[in-house]
Structure formats: structure tokens, C-alpha cells
Amino acid sequence: MTKIDHVMFKQRVIDTCMGNDSWQVHEVPDHHSCRLGKWYDNLNSETIRSMKAYADLVTPHKRVHQSAKEALAAAEAQDGEAMKEALNALDAASVDVLGLLDELAREITADSGKAQQVA
């Protein structure tokens, strides 16, 4: 579900930059207020919190939200070059987030397998 939300977030930014939506910069949540951010900030599992992919996720996730805001601001200012740069940064950060979510899923699965072997 998190990956779907992420893709929809990115698509809405792109749609707005292309003139097909009207998302305003002040409406974009920060990286704590979206579904992924709320999950990340409120996770109680120390096992998952100690995983490398979990720790690595915060920086690109923050960049996704910041780049989205920059792209929307540039679109509003009709600054095509700045919008393009921000969309490229958004895309790069998005690739990182999706890759880390996949890695985190692998780490959780591997950890779950270890727990089952011990039991």
C-alpha cells in the first residue's frame, strides 16, 4: 500500500506540473504526515527499526517531499528549468524510496525466516 501511495503522490505532482491538477505547495504533506511517514515515525518494532533499509529510508523520503514542493513552486512561478530539476530530483529520490522499501521487505522476510528456524 505504501508503494501505491508513493506512486500516486509522485503522479499528482507531475500532473500538477503539467497543468492537469491543481495541488498547491502548502497542501503537500511533509515526510512525517503522509502514510509512510506516519508508519515510519510510529513503528514500535525494534527489530525493524534496527534494519539498515529502515534507517536509510528517511533521507530519500524527505527528499521526495521537498522536491515535490520545489517542483510545484517552480511550476506556479512558470520556471520550467527549476521545475525540471525538481522533478528529476523527485524521480531520483523516488527510485531510492521504492528500492529501500523493497530492501526492507526482504530484510523483514529474512528476519522472519530466522525466527521460524529458531522456534
φ, ψ for residue 16, nearest 5 deg: -65, -45
Asked whether residue 118 is domain-assigned, the answer is no
Predicted model pTM = 0.90
Query: For 29-69, what is each residue's pLDDT tens digit?
Result: 999 999 999 999 999 999 999 999 999 999 999 999 999 99
Q: Is the pLDDT confidence value at 116 over 60?
A: no
Indicate the burial class of 81 (C-beta count within 10 angstroms; 0-12, 13-18, 19 or more).
exposed
Query: Which residues have C-beta within 8 Å of that of residue 75, sequence separation ≥ 6?
Result: 16, 17, 83
Q: Are 83 and 74 in contact (CB under 8 A)?
A: yes
Number of domains composing the chain: 1
From CA 114, how far away is CA 119, in angstroms rounded? 9
Q: What is the CATH number of the domain that holds 52?
A: 1.20.120
* Residues 55-112 pLDDT 10s: 999 999 999 999 999 999 999 999 999 999 999 999 999 999 999 999 999 999 998 7
Within a domain: 117: no
